[in-house]
Structure 1
């Protein structure tokens, strides 16, 4: 039975994770369909320090030709000659025929969404990671044939937290009862980071609405 698994692993497992603690950003590996063996890896960085994140790539081993593709409001897209599969985390994913659907940082961890062929493969993946010193917490495991796509499922933990806080504090009211600065103070992040999380949540709403309308 094919499964969808959502997994939390420490920020330190992937090189860019520790940089998240030094910069005011979130990091998301872009999902792309490679049409070339020379296709670079793409990384979205969100937050007020996004356009200054280039230096963080210097800490990534075997990375070269890092390029800022484009800066957007509260974010930036980078390309790098970095083979993610060389990391033990993703080597395990590949070894057990899992497919990486999502990978993005939260406040304290990387959050992965995987499609994996069976419970036995999932158990083998757990053991592989543990044997290589990778702590993993499986937050949710769902049979693929029972997955019902909802906006809540598609949001990251940080996006959901920001969105619910904004709703509870009246940010979406006709006469707005709070501000991005106040929400940022509650979340202990900058107003720009709050805006980025909300914007990414809006994008998820729009993408899911488009998919359901097809």
Structure 2
């Protein structure tokens, strides 16, 4: 049975650039279908200054050519020349037949979405990472079947708990009355894990709103017809 796992890894687990260069920028590895044997990766940079990110960022020594392919409002797409075999985390994923579905990074951590063949493979991944001083924190593990369930049922208990607590403590108020660190202490998890749970809850809720909007527009077109 295939599993979908969401995890938090430190930024050092995939040090494409020096963390200090990011500021408020966000990195996202683009999902691609391999059509040739090549060592290239596409990287989206989101936020102010994304279009000239390569001008001031200090890239990891494992990377070769870095070039900006396209700039759009609020973001830019870069091409990286790299050797994934030099990275402990990526090598472990390959060896354990775990697919990296999503990879989003800030200057503190990477949020990973993985597809794994078994719980054993995820356990082995954690062990491999710990052996190289990489802390890997799993936030959510579900079956592929559960992952494809209606969106309204996909908000996990942990995500719901984090959302409700953040609301009750005033995290969403105009003058924020709490922080991710404080929420993390109450939930007994790291601030990165709190941020990850909230981010994934936002995404799930946004997807649900989008789906409901599309269905509503479709019904209205049918009525007009």
The TM-score with structure 1 as length reference comes to 0.68
Corresponding residue number in structure 2 for 1:122: 122
Task: Name structure 2 gaps, 5 residues minimum.
Answer: 181-198, 216-225
Matches of 2:9 and 2:72 in 1, distance apart?
28
Deviations 1:65-84 (A, max 9, x none): 21100111010000011133
Alignment of 1:87-102 (within 5 A): 87-102=87-102
> Which protein is bigger by CA-based radius of gyration?
2
Deviations 1:49-92 (A, max 9, x none): 21121146643123222110011101000001113343101111
Alignment of 1:104-143 (within 5 A): 104-106=104-106, 108-143=108-143
Conservation of the 8 A alpha-carbon contact between 1:29 and 1:103: yes
Count of equivalent residues:
179
Conservation of the 8 A alpha-carbon contact between 1:11 and 1:18: no
Corresponding residue number in structure 1 for 2:27: 27
4+ residue stretches of structure 1 with deviation over 4 A? none
**How many angstroms does 1:11 deviate by?**
1.2
Distance 1:17 1:142, change over 3 A: farther
**How many angstroms does 1:96 deviate by?**
0.7
**How many angstroms does 1:107 deviate by?**
6.2
The TM-score with structure 2 as length reference comes to 0.65
Conservation of the 8 A alpha-carbon contact between 2:19 and 2:107: no
Corresponding residue number in structure 2 for 1:59: 59
Asked if 1:7 is matched to 2:7, the reply is yes
- RMSD, aligned α-carbons: 3.7
Task: Name structure 1 gaps, 5 residues minimum.
Answer: 170-177, 188-196
Deviations 1:7-58 (A, max 9, x none): 1011122113643664330000000112122362100000002112114664
